[in-house]
Amino acid sequence: MSTLITLPARSEIADKYKWNDTSVFPDQAAWQVEYQALRADLDQLDVYRGRLHENASTLADALDVAQALQKRAWIAIVYAGMQHSVDTLDQNAAALNGQANSLMGQIGAAFAFLEPEILAIGQATLATWLEQEPRLAGARQYIDNLFRKQKHIRSAEVEQLLGLLADPFTGAGQSYGMLTSADMRFQPATASDGTPRQVSQGTIYTLMDSPDRATRQTAWENYRDEYLRFKNTLAAQLETSIKQNVFTMRARRFENTLTMALDEQNLPPRIFHNLIAAFKKNLPTWQRYWRLRKKALGVASLHTYDIWTPLSSQSRAIPYQEAVDWICAGLEPMGKDYVDVVRRACLQERWVDVMPNQGKREGAFSSGAPGTHPFIVMSYDDNIGALSTLAHELGHSMHSYLTWQNQPMMYSNYGMFAAEVASNFHQALVRAHMLREITDRAFRLNLLEEALQNYHRYFFIMPTLARLELIAHERVERGEALTADTLNELCADLFAEGYGDDLQIDRARDGVTWATFGHLYVDYYVFQYATGISAANALSQRILNGAPHAVEDYLGFLRAGSSKYPLDALRGAGVDMSQPEPVDTAFQVLAEYVNQLEELVG
């Protein structure tokens, strides 16, 4: 009988492949000490309540205290979240994460009086104070943004209540994460030779890359079947999350949830609608790709589980160290200082939690705070897709690293619209380098397939989910109910439209795709992957084509954090995302990848 291939326990992973948690807190006990101290220190801000109007110095003092508390809180929240993400089976880490979520609500409540009181001071007085008090000089963008959003900021009492809701409003997303990462148990896949393979959040995409069709079919079916088994619970969780968003929309007096979500980054709704229109217009490019895959694989019918399989039987293994070397070589146009930070991050400072293990949450992400490294969680599995994921997350981390080096706490974060540019920019540079250097047909084929898989995720799946997300929100805004069956039918219809006639849809298993993406618990996030790829392509081409000041312009974007609105920061870097052209150009890049793949496979 064949032996089931399983993931190692967390304790079996070598320290060099784990994130450097002791650089943040020596242990969980030290975190608890800081957690209790931080809760007590929130009172430091209360002494300024009702006094911000007194003078410029008092306002500067209050903002200094708020930023210091926010920095400490962010560090504590990052530590707890990372501990939980790398091992959702660790009950102590789960408890820490719960305390961290509670802390977010307490911070929101403690800070609630600030913005209403600042608005009450008035723009004219604040303009004078910005000139008088040097400590306020850097707050100009913060105050401008505050007055831009003024009509949606409520009284101090209402803002305090909304702040307190931050903790319970994480419940739907948290329960989704626990269900999918800790509680779900997937039936093993079965290879054509009868070998069982463990299906988990950390292995599913490795199994989907398998050249063995039986492995990937049974992996995909068993993975999706577990989501179907919990479809009603998952639908209730998502509906709850959307209802919370609709509640906030109404509390803040927005006309709809899309406008509210984009207003946070000062983005006009047309950017969302431009993206969806471009996506629908370019569906024939995707359908040409499905026909090409069907022909190259020599199958009578192409299925969703065939999308990830390599077209070459000579798939190239890429160990972690080699991946780091390829990434650093691809990033050389950014300069030696930039590349040196990336190499240290991966090989010395342990920014990356590298390897899959039991209980590790799905996917990959970058997380950190000023005062910590910008850490990465992923499940590296020695292939070109893992290399690309590492490059992507390092893009996020370098964005954070440079922002934190150059901005005060109030500008140390940045919205998703900007974030997904930096991550996709890394992939674009590294991919361009590898396509120049690699002449081996099989390896080049692997690379082109990875590029198309990356586009498939961010330029096909994510826009499709964005369409579903908008419809789901609009239904809840109208008071309609969401059920598992209505979500599944809607999702199946949208994917059927995208797949066309050359990919055989499984309406039940394709229809539950919405449930496999925790991204939907961050409202209107998913479309920003596609806009991110579009901006990243434009900016990487400026650098690769040697445009004057292109590198420094891009570094300026990374250093800006939220000290500029994202559209302004991107214009400064060289791309205007308020127009549809960058998205159309990115689809031209996709079409060119399909052309190159067609040449290689014949």
pLDDT band at 96 (very low <50, low <70, confident <90, very high): very high
Reduced 3-state DSSP string for 35-69: HHHHHHHCHHHHCCCCCCCCCHHHHHHHHHHHHHH
**pLDDT at res. 407:** 97
Q: What is the mean pLDDT of residues 435-462?
A: 92
pLDDT band with cut points at 50, 70 and 90 for residue 2: very low
pLDDT digits (tens, 9 = 90+) for 129-181: 999 999 999 999 999 999 999 999 898 899 888 888 888 898 999 899 899 98
pLDDT band at 4 (very low <50, low <70, confident <90, very high): low
Average of pLDDT values for 203-211?
Answer: 88
Q: What is the pLDDT of residues 247-299, one digit of tens each?
A: 999 999 999 999 999 999 999 999 999 999 999 999 999 999 999 999 999 99
Q: What is the pLDDT of residues 511-536, one digit of tens each?
A: 999 999 999 999 999 999 999 999 99
Question: In the prediction, which pLDDT does 57 show?
Answer: 98
Report the run of H or E that residue 196 belongs to, with start and end.
strand 196-197
Backbone angles phi and psi of 331, in degrees to 5: -90, 5
**What crossing angle do the helices spanning 270-281 and 462-477 adopt, rounded to 10°?**
130
Alpha helices in 561-580 (DSSP H): 566-573
Catalytic residue among 393, 449, 450, 477: 393
Rounded Cα gap, residues 145 and 150, in angstroms: 8
- What pLDDT is attached to residue 314? 80
β-strand partners of 303: 504
Q: Which domains does the chain have, with CATH numbers?
A: 22-166 (1.20.140.70), 217-311+419-545+563-602 (1.10.1370.20)
User: Band of the pLDDT at 205, cuts 50, 70, 90?
Assistant: confident
β-pairing, 352-353 with 365-367?
A: unpaired
Residue 354 scores a pLDDT above 50: yes
Q: How far apart are CA 166 and CA 106, in angstroms?
A: 9
d(CA 336, CA 199): 41
| Model confidence at 5: pLDDT above 80 | no
Q: What is the pLDDT of residues 408-420, one digit of tens each?
A: 999 999 999 999 9
User: What is the three-class DSSP state of 87?
Assistant: coil
- Over pLDDT 90: what percentage of the chain? 87
Query: Over 70: is that where the pLDDT of 322 sits?
Result: yes
With cut-offs at 50, 70 and 90, classify the pLDDT of residue 105: confident
Please give the mean pLDDT across all residues of the chain.
94
Given a contact cutoff of 8 angstroms between Cβ atoms, the answer to whether 450 and 384 are in contact is yes
Q: What is the pLDDT of residue 1?
A: 38
393 is catalytic: yes
228, pLDDT greater than 80: yes
How far is Cα of residue 490 from the mean position of the Cα atoms in its chain?
24
Give the pLDDT confidence score for residue 3 in this predicted structure. Answer: 52
Which residue's entry shows tokens 């809180």?
73
Cα 21 to Cα 38: distance, rounded to the nearest angstrom: 19
CA proximity to 227, closest of 184, 173, 164: 184
Segment among 64-68, 108-112, 401-405, 419-423 with least mean pLDDT = 108-112
Residue for token digits 């190259």? 296
pTM assigned to the model? 0.86
What's the pLDDT band for 324 if we cut at 50, 70, 90? Answer: very high
Can you say how many angstroms the Cα of residue 418 is from the centroid of all Cα atoms in its chain?
A: 11
Is residue 193 very low, low, confident or very high in pLDDT (cuts 50, 70, 90)?
very high
State the average pLDDT over residues 376-391: 94
Mean pLDDT of 578-594: 93
Instruction: Give CA–CA dist 45/462, Å, rounded.
Output: 41
